[in-house]
């Protein structure tokens, strides 16, 4: 929590440093309509291996319902085997729309393997030929993930996707995949390569930033309005999100603001979310992040530019052509996909969450990394004990079925409390509901789900006799989360571990779920009208961060004052 708090404070200071921007004027009647997709994660069937796999041989499926249908679900949540069909449906809808261009903001492939890149480029090439419309792409971290002869370099990326931005480019940055290209009217695309090749995170390095400066000056001289696209998010969209150029955040925002860039289309996080930051002069920068096309609920965007307004609407893939799938699906699976693809996809996503939880929740590796805990520290060891306990029970039924077998409800009753009623059968279904809510955008409040998650964790931890307290009243993990309990804390020895466990779990959930179970910032994530004029609405990054910190402070106050 300290790290999150410090990061938030740093963002406040950075926002305070933002300076005024130069406004590029252009004709008020000049309009542009584009479609935006990202993280399409195409996979060649040959790169995916054998389908279907033996359900009993697939690891991390403990507790999974409908295993025969969804055992092939990926741990990452991506519908890899359906990626071709989903992408072709997107291209079909784009061709039938009144959108003039399609932008794809990175992670074009799942593995970065050469064969997947080549096949995707051919699919895009056919789509351009059939529709007569142009498609523009930029790379993402997954596009350079493969190693050795199976992978590609940035120069090969430019060659493979030459027809999708590079051949039309006015300028191409020599050592990255960045380029500029004119769209219609007075609009110009600046596609920024934010990849650190071989790593997950992103940055805009000094060389690329210098190139952006030159392109912005040229656009100003040409009377062009810049529209930016990059893979990694520019602004924070939830509490524990790493930022592009986190070490020089204020400088980056100040530069882009000064250069007249006020809207950036991004991806990477797989969620529909729009964040904004306001400079001291009142100019607003918008980061329009779009969810992964092949992850439920399969979102993409439409953006209509006119004057100083940008109208953003969201769309979703709700059907696919099963003829574009590989062989091996059962008749039941095909019928489910044809009858109700969103419902099938939702079940697939739940199965992904089941496998993810089974793989990662048994240790502190994943959560510890999110929180910035280092192996070997007392805080990491405390968290590891907690995660080991949770891992033992994560695949159990939530509610007692009367068979006498273990259930989380049984553990809760042993600890002296009851679980609220719900339609959820397994913990992974709650996690899937929370995450799909975040991915969809405009997060609805999920108090009942958050409460149920907390009570399930509390029951599991107390059942296995794990507390987060060390020998002293203040444990290492509590210290890390910023929790302080007085040494003369007036609780009996029997009550103490229960209270410490409860407060610690609530603090942990507060840290991890910030911006996921409720919308992190304005404006609306799904459909919004953005004002890029100097008289933008008062949606400042400073006020949002301050409000977030106040809400966290109030939450902690309630936790530790109202015992």
Structure tokens at 535: 């008289």
What is residue 147's predicted lDDT score, i.e. its pLDDT?
Answer: 92
- Which stretch, 216-225, 386-395, 548-557, has highest mean pLDDT? 216-225
For the four alpha carbons of 481, 484, 485 and 487, in that order, the dihedral sign comes to positive
What is residue 553's predicted lDDT score, i.e. its pLDDT?
Answer: 38
What is residue 265's predicted lDDT score, i.e. its pLDDT?
Answer: 98
Structure tokens at 50: 């054998």
Specify whether the CB–CB gap between 39 and 267 falls below 8 A.
yes
What's the Rg (C-alpha) of the chain? 24
Q: Which residues 6+ apart lie within 8 Å of 178 measured at CB? A: 138, 172, 190, 191, 192, 193, 208, 211, 212
Separation between Cα atoms, residue 132 and residue 382, nearest integer Å: 59
CA 239 to mean position of chain CA atoms? 12
Statement: residue 496 has pLDDT above 50 = no
pLDDT digits (tens, 9 = 90+) for 60-72: 999 999 999 999 9
DSSP per-residue letters across 379-426 = HHHHHHHHHHHHHHHTTS-SS--SSS---HHHHHHHTT--PPP-S--S
Separation between Cα atoms, residue 154 and residue 195, nearest integer Å: 10
Specify whether the CB–CB gap between 285 and 293 falls below 8 A.
no
- Reported as a pLDDT band with limits 50, 70 and 90, residue 522 is low
Reference 532, options 313, 304, 314; nearest CA is 304
CA distances from 229 to 20, 37, 42, 112, 289 (A): 22, 11, 19, 20, 10
CA angle 197/198/202 to nearest 5° reads: 55
Statement: residue 256 has pLDDT above 90 = no
Specify whether the CB–CB gap between 525 and 238 falls below 8 A.
no
- What is the DSSP-derived secondary structure letter of residue 265? E
b/e per residue, 309-329, with b = 16+ CB within 10 A?
ebebebbbbebbeeeebeeeb
Cβ atoms within 10 Å of 427's Cβ, excluding its own: 26
Structure tokens at 453: 């998650």
Statement: residue 169 has pLDDT above 80 = yes
pLDDT digits (tens, 9 = 90+) for 329-372: 999 999 999 999 999 999 999 999 999 989 988 888 877 877 77
Q: Tokens 């998010």 correspond to what residue?
A: 233
Separation between Cα atoms, residue 389 and residue 242, nearest integer Å: 28
Cβ atoms within 10 Å of 561's Cβ, excluding its own: 7
What is residue 239's predicted lDDT score, i.e. its pLDDT?
Answer: 53
What is residue 473's predicted lDDT score, i.e. its pLDDT?
Answer: 31
Q: Which residues 6+ apart lie within 8 Å of 421 measured at CB? A: none
What is residue 41's predicted lDDT score, i.e. its pLDDT?
Answer: 98
> How many CA within 13 A on the CB side of residue 81?
21
CA angle 187/191/194 to nearest 5° reads: 150
Q: Tokens 């025969």 correspond to what residue?
A: 68
Q: Which residues 6+ apart lie within 8 Å of 441 measured at CB? A: 271, 272, 273, 291, 299, 314, 524, 525, 526
Statement: residue 380 has pLDDT above 70 = yes
Q: For residue 26, what are the β-bridge partners?
A: none
Residue with the bigger pLDDT between 461 and 486: it is 461
| Residues constituting the chain | 563
Q: What phi, psi does 98 have (nearest 5°)?
A: -95, 10
């Amino acid at each position: 929590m300290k790290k999150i708090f410090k990061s938030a404070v740093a963002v406040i200071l950075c926002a305070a440093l933002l300076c005024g921007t130069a406004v590029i004027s252009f004709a008020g009647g000049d309009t542009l309509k584009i479609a935006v997709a990202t993280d399409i994660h195409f996979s060649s069937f040959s790169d995916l291996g054998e389908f279907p796999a033996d359900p009993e041989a697939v690891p991390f499926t403990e507790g999974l319902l409908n295993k025969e249908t969804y055992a092939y679900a990926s741990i990452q949540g991506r519908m890899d085997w359906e990626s071709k069909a989903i992408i072709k449906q997107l291209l079909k809808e784009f061709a039938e729309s009144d959108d003039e261009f399609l932008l794809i903001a990175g992670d074009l492939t799942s593995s970065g393997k050469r064969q997947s890149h080549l096949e995707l480029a051919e699919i895009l090439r056919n789509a351009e030929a059939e529709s007569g419309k142009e498609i523009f792409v930029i790379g993402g971290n997954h596009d350079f993930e493969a190693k050795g002869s199976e992978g590609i370099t940035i120069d090969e990326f430019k060659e493979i996707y030459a027809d999708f931005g590079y051949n039309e480019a006015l300028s191409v940055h020599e050592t990255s995949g960045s380029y500029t290209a004119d769209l219609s009217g007075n609009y110009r695309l600046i596609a920024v390569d934010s990849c650190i090749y071989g790593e997950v995170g992103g940055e805009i390095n000094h060389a690329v930033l210098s190139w952006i400066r030159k392109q912005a000056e040229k656009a100003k001289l040409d009377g062009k309005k810049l529209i930016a696209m990059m893979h990694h998010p520019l602004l924070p969209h939830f509490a524990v999100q790493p930022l592009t150029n986190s070490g020089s955040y204020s400088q980056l925002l100040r530069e882009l603001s000064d250069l007249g860039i006020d809207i950036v289309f991004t991806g990477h996080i797989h969620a529909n979310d729009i964040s904004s930051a306001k400079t001291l002069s009142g100019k607003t920068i918008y980061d329009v992040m779009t969810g992964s096309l092949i992850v439920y609920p399969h979102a993409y965007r439409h953006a209509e530019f006119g004057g100083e307004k940008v109208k953003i609407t969201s769309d979703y893939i709700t059907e696919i052509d099963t003829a574009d799938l590989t062989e091996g699906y059962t008749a039941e699976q095909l019928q489910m996909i044809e009858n109700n693809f969103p419902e099938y996809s939702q079940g697939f996503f739940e199965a992904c969450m089941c496998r993810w939880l089974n793989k990662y929740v048994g240790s502190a590796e994943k959560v510890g990394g999110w929180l910035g805990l280092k192996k070997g520290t007392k805080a990491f060891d405390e968290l590891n004990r907690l995660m080991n306990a949770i891992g033992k029970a994560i695949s159990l039924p939530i509610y007692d079925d009367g068979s006498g077998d273990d259930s989380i409800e049984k553990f809760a009753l042993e600890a002296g409390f009851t679980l609220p009623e719900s339609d959820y059968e397994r913990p992974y279904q709650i996690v899937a509901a929370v995450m799909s809510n975040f991915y969809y955008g405009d997060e609805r409040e999920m108090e009942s789900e958050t409460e149920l998650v907390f009570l399930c964790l509390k029951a599991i931890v107390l059942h296995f006799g794990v507390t987060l307290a060390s020998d002293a009243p203040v444990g290492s993990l509590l210290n890390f989360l910023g929790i302080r309990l007085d040494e003369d804390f007036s609780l009996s020895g029997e009550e103490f571990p229960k209270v410490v466990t409860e407060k610690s779990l609530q603090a942990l959930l507060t840290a991890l779920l910030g911006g996921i179970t409720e919308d992190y910032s304005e404006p609306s994530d799904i459909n919004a009208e953005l004002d890029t004029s100097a008289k933008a609405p008062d949606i400042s990054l400073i006020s949002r961060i301050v409000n977030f910190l106040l809400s966290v402070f109030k939450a902690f106050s309630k936790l530790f004052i109202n015992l």
